[in-house]
Amino acid sequence: MPESTRTAEEAALACGCIVAQIVKSLLFRGATSGKPVLLLVSGKNRVNEKAVAADLGEALTRPDAAFVREITGFAIGGVPPFAHATPMATYMDRDLLAYDRVFAAAGTPRTIFSAAPAALQTATGATLIDVTGK
Ligand code: 5CA
């Protein structure tokens, strides 16, 4: 894209889609296990960490930017939903299934790709969850 797609809002403007169709690839870390966990979240949603922790069976912490780069191989703002340096448990926001196509970062803060949400789920091996706890 000629413009920045660093945030979900910027990506939606650049793609001409609604922010809910943007896939945020958010890295968390298991509070007990220390293992990285990837959440693929609709751009319209905020993660309810308590609700997601109940689903995952472990509390979550939010790693810093250096950990994100080390584990995924990408800098924040361009983290894609797959093709990471370290494969990790991946969960996908059910709300993404409401759209024909969703748009996710493709490795840099100016690159985006689109996919049918079911194809994204297959490619990532993600388990569907409710991220908002509604
Ligand atoms: N390219 C866009 C749309 S796909 C994108 O990557 N959006 S994102 O939401 O997946 O990535 C930005 C996210 O990184 C923010 O939502 C925020 O939750 C997280 N973030 C931003 N700064 C930091 C930081 N310093 N440490 C940890 N996480 C951060």
Chain center to CA of 11: 13
Best of 76, 92, 111, 112 for a ligand 1 pocket test (most atoms within 8 Å of beta carbon): 76
Instruction: Answer yes or no: is the C-beta of 22 below 6 A from any ligand 1 atom.
Output: yes
Q: What is this structure's pTM?
A: 0.96
* Concatenated DSSP letters of 18-37: -GGGEEEEEEEEETTT--EE
The span from the CA of 109 to the CA of 41, in Å, is 17
pLDDT digits (tens, 9 = 90+) for 88-122: 999 999 999 999 999 999 999 999 999 999 999 99
The whole-number pLDDT of residue 123 equals 97
Looking at residues 40-57, what average pLDDT do you find? 94
Question: Would strands 102-105 and 22-30 be described as parallel, antiparallel, or unpaired?
Answer: parallel
The whole-number pLDDT of residue 16 equals 95
Instruction: Answer yes or no: is the C-beta of 102 below 6 A from any ligand 1 atom.
Output: no
> Residue 133's pLDDT band (boundaries 50, 70, 90)?
confident
Instruction: Answer yes or no: is the C-beta of 64 below 6 A from any ligand 1 atom.
Output: yes
3-class DSSP state for residue 45? coil
pLDDT digits (tens, 9 = 90+) for 58-87: 999 999 999 999 999 999 999 999 999 999
The whole-number pLDDT of residue 27 equals 97
- The Å distance, Cα 94 to ligand 1 centre, comes to 20
- Cα-Cα end-to-end distance for the chain: 34
The whole-number pLDDT of residue 2 equals 94
3-class DSSP state for residue 131? coil
Q: What backbone torsions phi and psi does residue 40 show, to the nearest 5 degrees?
A: -100, 110
- The Å distance, Cα 7 to ligand 1 centre, comes to 7
**Relative to the CA of 43, which ligand 1 atom is closest?**
9
> Residue 134's pLDDT band (boundaries 50, 70, 90)?
confident
Instruction: Answer yes or no: is the C-beta of 104 below 6 A from any ligand 1 atom.
Output: yes
The pLDDT mean for the chain works out to 96
> Please, which residues bridge with residue 61 across strands?
29
